Amino acid sequence: MGISMGVAPRVEDPTELAHERYSALVRAVATVVWTATPDGGTRVGSDWTTLTGQTTEEMTGYGWLDAIHPEDRERTREAWRTAVLHQGVYDTDYRIRCADGIHRWFNARGAPVLDHDGAIREWVGMCLPITGSKRFQVDLRIPGSSTTRLTAAQVRAARALLGWTIERLSTEADLSPSTVARIEDAARIGSVRRSNLDAAKAAFEANGVVFTGDAGRVGLSLGGTPTAP
């Protein structure tokens, strides 16, 4: 009679395995993974710091809202407040000021994690970059006007969508940085030659930006895959 000293094979815990698979999938698709307290105080990790440059102290609680574009901040705050109040799914788009100073579009999604008695244990969520043909309508209504002339706001928005700096736009459009700065200044864009505006528009369109306009309302979208910033 002999004694076997072999090592028993490790038995996989199905719950643990499912969690590992889920975590791997989330890491593969999300730029930021976050959690929040039951009352909505957000806890975000090092990936948020990498994305925005905010410190742990700056981002904790509701400090992360400071990294949201001013035009999107109140809407984002209200969407989160509503989700927490009604214990519902959180799903909204907004622009995040990244560490390089460029605002980029992200989709934020979150949901409550419930205890056995139905009470919220915490919130979990992620921020996903918006790319491809996702459409962004920029509200630029001009009272009493039906013009679709390129506007300073459109130029800034298009540059943000592509993640371009002013220098990158000046190179792509063969314009001087000072001309680009005038184009992006609503008070000075009227003094810019139409040929320079057309050059900027052509550079954006060559990299997948589509401009739209009707009855004084203009917008833009990414209709293709842009080149890398």
CA distances from 193 to 35, 184, 198, 200 (A): 50, 13, 9, 11
Task: Using DSSP, state whether 145 is helix, strand or coil.
Answer: coil
Q: Is residue 13 part of a domain?
A: no
Nearest alpha-carbon partner for 94 in 62, 61, 69: 69
Confidence of residue 169 (pLDDT cuts 50, 70, 90): very high
Q: Are 217 and 211 in contact (CB under 8 A)?
A: no
Domain identity same for 89 and 165? no
Domain identity same for 102 and 67? yes
Domain end position, chosen among 109, 129, 149:
129
Across the chain, where does the E strand assignment appear?
Answer: 32-36, 42-44, 90-97, 103-114, 120-129, 135-136, 209-214, 217-222
Higher pLDDT, 99 or 147: 99
Separation CA 130–CA 124 (nearest Å): 19
Domain carrying residue 98: 18-129
Domain identity same for 22 and 50? yes
pTM given for the model: 0.50
Domain identity same for 28 and 84? yes
Higher pLDDT, 228 or 180: 180
Above pLDDT 90, what percent of the chain? 15
Confidence of residue 174 (pLDDT cuts 50, 70, 90): very high
Residue 136 has pLDDT above 50, yes or no: no
Lowest model confidence (mean pLDDT) among 23-27, 65-69, 126-130: 23-27
pLDDT digits (tens, 9 = 90+) for 20-33: 554 454 454 457 88
Which CATH number do you get for residue 27?
3.30.450.20
User: How far is the first Cα of the chain from the last one, in angstroms, to the nearest whole number?
Assistant: 71
